[in-house]
Amino acid sequence: KNLNRINQKIYVRSISMLMVINLDRQQDRLTKIQENLELQRLKFQRIQACDGKLMPKTAADSLCRYPAAGGFEMSPEEVACYVSHVAAWKKLLTSQEPHAIILEDDVVLGEGSGAILKHLAWVPEDVDIIKLETWRKRLSIAQRPCKTVEGRGIYRLRSHHAGTAAYIISRQGAEKALQHSTPMKCPIDVALFNPLYGNARAFRIYQMAPALCIQRRLFDGSGAGQVESDFGISERGHTRSYGKNWRERSFHFSVLCLRRIIMRVSHFLSGRKRVDFC
């Protein structure tokens, strides 16, 4: 009943489509982010997260590319996290909205979030995804922003940036993401934001800097250096498949080497900088 009441609650003066992914067993997180968004006068739709702790390993494996070449062996929690974001993308595509803001339930919003997220007219026309969060690590981004909104620059992202706790996705971005989700090649943040192993090369991805959001455990220091999902992922060590025979392995390694060279050149030309949160 409490979840239904929160789902139905409407906050005024908000136009953008905003979705919060939340597990049924994490109602405390839902309450916290509800209060945070209410302060910013933002309304949201709750997306019921798929619970990896309830997903059989066989069901998770059936959705993954592994052990085919290029696939990552993924845990049920990682698959469930991916499934939850897929549900949000489908929700966008069944609406009439051009973009959606997708948040996981443990994010902390920065100053002026309401003014930035209420209206998304500032989003570049060619955008697929804008990453709103930061892990406070050095990244390769464009030297100059293509646009500035409320003192925050929108830069092309040219390197890997972990996490899917906060991002804006366009309709065309959601369509591309869905196309690349069957079967699932790797964990969702690798799929979207890692040009070496994931599908990031297929997207036009931007980074907001300074970042508008940060995961709570990184904000308060309780999870610094950890990589774990808000939906129960406790480990991120992966077994990757490089192919079943020497031809597949040779081809896969050659492609990875070429991508690494391209990425290093891109990083050298763009430089690297730390994206802060405020």
Which tokens belong to 41? 């006068």
Q: How confident is the model at residue 271 (pLDDT cuts 50, 70, 90)?
A: low
Q: What mean pLDDT is predicted for residues 30-35?
A: 95
- One-letter amino acid of 211: A
pLDDT at 27 over 60: yes
pLDDT at 4 over 90: no
pLDDT at 73: 85
Q: How confident is the model at residue 242 (pLDDT cuts 50, 70, 90)?
A: low
Which tokens belong to 264? 């290093």
For helices 171-179 and 76-93, give the axis angle rounded to 10 degrees.
140
Structure confidence by residue, pLDDT tens digits, 153-199? 999 998 888 899 999 999 999 999 999 898 898 899 988 998 777 67
Between 259 and 99, the more confident residue is 99
Q: Using CA atoms, how far apart are residues 47 and 210, in angstroms rounded to an integer? A: 27
Q: Which residues contact 159 (CB under 8 A, 6 or more apart)?
A: 139, 140, 141, 195, 263, 266, 267, 272
The mean predicted confidence, pLDDT, of the chain is 84
Which tokens belong to 101? 């803001």
Q: How confident is the model at residue 270 (pLDDT cuts 50, 70, 90)?
A: low
pLDDT at 71: 75
pLDDT at 11 over 50: no
pLDDT at 197: 73
The Cβ of residue 148 has, within 10 Å, a number of other Cβ atoms equal to 10
Q: List the beta strands (DSSP E) in 111-209.
A: 129-131, 138-139, 147-149, 152-156, 166-170, 205-209
DSSP 203-251: S-EEEEESBSEEEHHHHSSTTTT----TTS-------B---SSHHHHHH
Structure confidence by residue, pLDDT tens digits, 62-114? 998 776 666 788 899 999 999 999 999 999 999 999 999 999 999 999 989 99
Give the H/E segment covering residue 107: strand 107-109
pLDDT at 265 over 50: yes
Q: What mean pLDDT is predicted for residues 185-214?
A: 88
Say if residues 103 and 20 touch (Cβ distance below 8 Å).
Answer: yes
Domains in the chain, CATH or no CATH each = 2-274 (3.90.550)
For strands 152-156 and 129-131, give the pairing.
unpaired
**Cα angle: 20, vertex 209, 31; to 5 degrees:** 25
Q: What residues form DSSP beta bridges with 100?
A: 169
Which tokens belong to 245? 């025979």
